Homo-oligomer: A and B are copies of this chain.
């Protein structure tokens, strides 16, 4: 008997990637049913995706059935894998995450910055409800989380909600492992990788088949076009002298920390041009759906790769296969740290190279972090934990702490205003902060950006 897979946020433009990944693995991964779940606002998109998906499976000559529903309770019973890739408040919320901080001259950064903090605040309560449903309806299922900030969401699921069968996925390490070998004239799979750190804040080291470390060699390509940085990050050159001193390869998102000023400047330009990442994506999405609606399309269109989620299916589908087929593959996921990154708490989540088998993810000990990396990691983890605390309790103090710790947010009264404006703008999706938000509104807090105002007015 084949698997039952449920995709929450199934109406996403990424879903065809996922279908593609499953179809390519159809020999090792027999799937009976895929359930696509979405919210009423996403109904039309969901049906577009359903139709395309069905055309894709049919073209592949396979019998996997595609179902859709607006009620996840209908989809979850006896699921084997639940994939979460939803976005609370959709891209409209991300626009606010990015534009509100930028209006005040700060980076929003939708994963670990102010935007990421608010994305966590919106997402964690919803994930919590999903877990409650899963406890009843599919207590043996694996939760494969793709929803950003993937590290914080996964830590909340594993450590706070106690659902141990969860992995947090991200395509950034996958992209590095796919792209980097070519830099040294090698093929994919010919290098050995060790990743350690946090989601969108990890480092890695690399060895060749003779056991020689080639980290420093690959590092030299980091500012190249094909250096392994995801295309959705502005390719601001990084300071090579700083990186060389660390002897580890940072992820593309480290640009936001090590070149904060330049990344901010670039984002401010985008802000003025109404071309923040979220606004761009909103547009791309529309054109993608236009393509998807074409009834003669029955494969994943190449345009999707530009969206930023390249190798998304390689991460998700391969990981599901490694679990289902007890493969013992080494992959990079967010999982309970257990001392693998030894400067972080044992019982937090880290993004680290793991052996993935039927029993789950077993993290490989990363070894000593140099001081410079240790300090940053520890602070980011504390920031994540304050955010998770705030998301679960609605405690305003914890939220202030997360802002105070976050290195992308300058400290002072202006940051406080950004925080309050974000609370007010996202009011609809932050019931846990209802009281303080009401107070702030009464005090007259609101965001002056017309884009944000229009979104709020439109009910987003």
Contact = CB atoms under 8 A, between A and B. Distances in A.
Interface of A: 192, 194, 207-211, 213, 239, 241-242, 244-246, 257-262, 323, 326, 328, 330, 337-340, 342, 346, 353, 355, 357-360, 362-368, 370-372, 374-376, 378-383, 385-386, 389, 395-398, 400-402, 404-405, 407, 410-416
23 contacts: A192-B359, A208-B358, A239-B416, A241-B400, A242-B401, A245-B395, A245-B400, A257-B411, A261-B413, A261-B414, A338-B366, A338-B368, A339-B340, A346-B368, A353-B362, A371-B385, A371-B389, A372-B398, A372-B402, A374-B378, A374-B382, A375-B405, A376-B404
A374 B374 CA distance: 13
A192 B327 CA distance: 10
A413 B264 CA distance: 12
A242 B397 contact: yes
The 3 closest A-B pairs by CB, nearest first: A245-B397, A375-B382, A261-B412
A380 B371 CA distance: 11
Contact of A364 (B365, B398, B405, B415): B365
B245 A401 contact: yes
A244 B374 contact: no
Given A210-B358, A241-B396, A355-B364, 16 more contacts: A210-B326, A211-B359, A211-B360, A244-B397, A259-B411, A261-B414, A262-B413, A330-B355, A339-B339, A339-B340, A339-B365, A364-B365, A372-B402, A372-B404, A375-B378, A375-B381
B367 A365 contact: no
A295 to B, nearest CB: 41
A262 B323 CA distance: 44
Contacts of A242: 397, 400-401, 404
Most B C-beta atoms less than 10 A away, residue of A194, A371, A380, A414? A371
A211 B411 contact: no
A178 B22 CA distance: 34
A258 B213 CA distance: 41
A413 B370 CA distance: 23
Nearest to A374: B382
A192 B328 contact: yes
A382 B372 contact: yes
Contact of A371 (B208, B210, B401): B401
Contacts of A258: 404, 411-412
Given A262-B412, A401-B371, A213 B359 contact: yes
A258 to B, nearest CB: 5
A241 B367 CA distance: 37
B328 A241 contact: no
Contacts of A328: 192, 330
Contact of A358 (B207, B368, B376): B207
A200 B285 CA distance: 50
A28 to B, nearest CB: 14
A415 B257 CA distance: 13
A194 to B, nearest CB: 7
Contacts of A415: 261
A192 B357 contact: yes
Contact of A397 (B241, B346, B355, B367): B241
A209 B327 CA distance: 9
Nearest to A416: B239
A311 to B, nearest CB: 20
Contacts of A370: 401
Given A326-B209, A355-B364, A365-B339, A382 B386 contact: no
A401 B413 contact: no
A371 B386 contact: yes
A69 to B, nearest CB: 27
A11 B263 CA distance: 48
Most B C-beta atoms less than 10 A away, residue of A210, A259, A382, A385? A382
Nearest to A397: B245
Contacts of A326: 192, 209-211
Nearest to A338: B365
A346 B339 CA distance: 10
Nearest to A347: B368
A362 B330 CA distance: 12
Nearest to A241: B400
